Amino acid sequence: MKPAAAAASITLSVVLLAGGTAVALAPAASAATADTGTPTAPPAPPGDGGASPGAGGGIDAGSPNLRLPEGSKLAPAKVLDIVSVSDESSVAADQPEQREETSNATVTYALQSEVAFAKNSAKLSAAATSRIQAIAADINTRHVTSPIRVFGFTDDLGSSEHGVTLSRQRAQAVYQVLAAALNSAGDSSHTFQVRGYGEDYPIADNSTESGRQQNRRVEITFTPPAA
């Protein structure tokens, strides 16, 4: 059975005012949905909490609040770093076996340690090896030339020294499979940065087992060439 896939994307309209001030406008036609599936109303727009002018709740085009002060100019347009995240999971939507995070600048694959390794071990599972080989194929397809970062992380249980050692060993194991797969594809010119950070840089709350599972991970990060 293939792991279930869950994907989420958020698009924000951003207006840049003079002085570089950015105002994000939530999409009017969509509402945020919590993990429970219960629709949640989007946040109210900035203001004094009063009703919108006009019978239909529209915007008053004559409002002085919509006018730039005398002599003001719009700031130059900027490209914002938009991140989309997709999960591949056979465990639960909030416990992904592998998380892929893509922005304008970088791509990060995060492998969940519970799936990639046995407890307290740096030996990769067969499933994890297959996933890393697929990541290598993606790197090859993108013609990546920047350094590839392979960073290991743990939760805050146990001593910090043990966490650093284990996270480094796991990052090294992932690196070895990744480098071998790239070499087999005829793409051997890459440089790598391999680090173990232990409990530093958590992405979830270490006070819960759910959060600790997310923090136990190995991340593969690279920067694709500019389009």
75-112 pLDDT, tens digit per residue, is 665 444 444 333 343 333 333 445 555 566 789 999 99
Amino acid at 25: L
Tokens of 78: 């900027």
Task: State which of 37-46, 90-99, 135-144 shows the largest mean pLDDT.
Answer: 135-144
Q: pTM for this structure?
A: 0.57
Q: What is the pLDDT of residue 202?
A: 92
State residue 227's pLDDT score.
61
Contact 209, 157 (CB under 8 A): no
Render pLDDT for 164-204 as a digit per residue (tens, 0 to 9). 999 999 999 999 999 999 999 888 889 999 999 999 999 99
How many angstroms separate the CA atoms of 194 and 178, rounded?
12
57 in Cβ contact with 46 (< 8 Å): no
State the number of CA atoms in the 13 A half-sphere of 49 facing the CB: 0
C-alpha to C-alpha distance for 135 and 218, rounded to whole angstroms: 13
Higher-scoring residue by pLDDT: 26, 227: 227
Contact between 171 and 152 under an 8 Å Cβ cutoff? The reply is yes
Residue 123 has a pLDDT of 94
Instruction: Give 121 or 115, the one with higher predicted confidence.
Output: 121
